[in-house]
């Protein structure tokens, strides 16, 4: 079990490594670069992370945890299930503005065949966000606001659509992302509203 001091050091390493990954790219950043940038010994870094890949996945976990904590606070602003879906969607799309997004894309493109364990961890991490949407869809169905459907499947389809909006900045520029997200939610709501 890590101590509070160990947790602070671990968090600092993750934050500093993110700076390097954004600056140099994931592939171009070595563990030695991270040692120099953080001022933490190599042994200490390897105490917290078994490899650069483990450090990266831990970084994604940390940022995802922060996303969920932020959503827990933001959620209170949306008492009605339709507005909650809109709020969660905007929060989800905003997460793609993170500097980690570009690094994650590079990491994914360079993932080797032997990376099944890391790939599985990344899937598990993303399921936390999908669960937020599953809960909203389930609530809407229980309140008979939405038509009955498989809430988990609907959440996967919907988050895939939102993720897709962020992949084409030339078609969906970042400055119009909120408008596009609102339009996507409106279209979905129209389709799943109980009539």
- The whole-number pLDDT of residue 79 equals 93
> What is the spatial distance between Cα 6 and Cα 72, in angstroms, rounded to a whole number?
26
- The whole-number pLDDT of residue 120 equals 83
Contacts of 32 (CB under 8 A, 6+ apart): 42
The predicted-structure confidence for 29-64, as pLDDT tens digits, reads as follows 999 999 999 999 999 999 999 999 899 889 989 988
User: Does pLDDT of 177 surpass 80?
Assistant: no
- The whole-number pLDDT of residue 117 equals 81
Residues 107 and 158 both lie in one domain: yes
User: Does pLDDT of 1 surpass 60?
Assistant: no
> What is the spatial distance between Cα 126 and Cα 120, in angstroms, rounded to a whole number?
10
Please report which confidence band the pLDDT of residue 191 belongs to, taking 50, 70 and 90 as the band edges.
Answer: confident
- The whole-number pLDDT of residue 2 equals 56
Q: What is the CATH number of the domain that holds 7?
A: 1.10.10.60
Residues 69 and 114 both lie in one domain: yes
Residues 44 and 66 both lie in one domain: no
Q: What is the CATH number of the domain that holds 128?
A: 1.10.357.10
Residues 97 and 145 both lie in one domain: yes
Average pLDDT estimate for 125-144: 93
> What is the spatial distance between Cα 89 and Cα 164, in angstroms, rounded to a whole number?
13
User: Does pLDDT of 170 surpass 70?
Assistant: no
Residues 105 and 178 both lie in one domain: yes
Concatenated DSSP letters of 130-170? HHHHHHHHHHHHHTTSB----HHHHHHHHHHHHHHHHH-TT
Give CA angle at 155 (154, 160), nearest 5°: 100
The predicted-structure confidence for 68-125, as pLDDT tens digits, reads as follows 999 999 999 999 999 999 999 999 988 887 777 777 777 777 766 667 788 788 888 8
State the residue range of the domain holding 21. 1-49
Residues 59 and 133 both lie in one domain: yes
Contacts of 76 (CB under 8 A, 6+ apart): none
In this prediction the pTM is 0.81
- The whole-number pLDDT of residue 84 equals 95
Residues 43 and 98 both lie in one domain: no
Looking at per-residue confidence, does 17 or 194 come out higher?
Answer: 17
> What is the spatial distance between Cα 108 and Cα 56, in angstroms, rounded to a whole number?
11
């Amino acid at each position: 079990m890590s101590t509070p001091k160990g947790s602070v050091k671990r968090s600092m390493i993750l934050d500093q490594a993110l700076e390097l990954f954004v600056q140099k790219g994931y592939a171009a950043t070595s563990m030695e670069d991270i040692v120099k940038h953080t001022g933490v010994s190599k042994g200490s870094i390897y105490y917290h992370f078994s490899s650069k890949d483990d450090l990266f996945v831990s970084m994604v976990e940390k940022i995802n945890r922060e996303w969920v904590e932020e959503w827990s606070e933001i959620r209170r602003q949306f008492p009605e299930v339709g507005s909650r879906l809109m709020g969660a969607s905007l929060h989800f799309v905003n997460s793609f503005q993170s500097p980690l997004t570009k690094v994650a894309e590079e990491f994914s493109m360079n993932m080797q065949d032997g990376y099944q364990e890391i790939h599985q961890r990344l899937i598990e991490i993303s399921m936390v966000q999908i669960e937020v949407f599953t809960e909203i869809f389930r609530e809407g169905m229980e309140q008979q606001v939405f038509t009955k459907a498989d809430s988990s499947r609907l959440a996967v389809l919907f988050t895939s659509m939102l993720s897709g909006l962020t992949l084409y900045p030339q078609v969906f520029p970042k400055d119009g992302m909120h408008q596009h997200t609102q339009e996507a939610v409106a279209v979905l709501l129209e389709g799943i509203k109980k009539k």
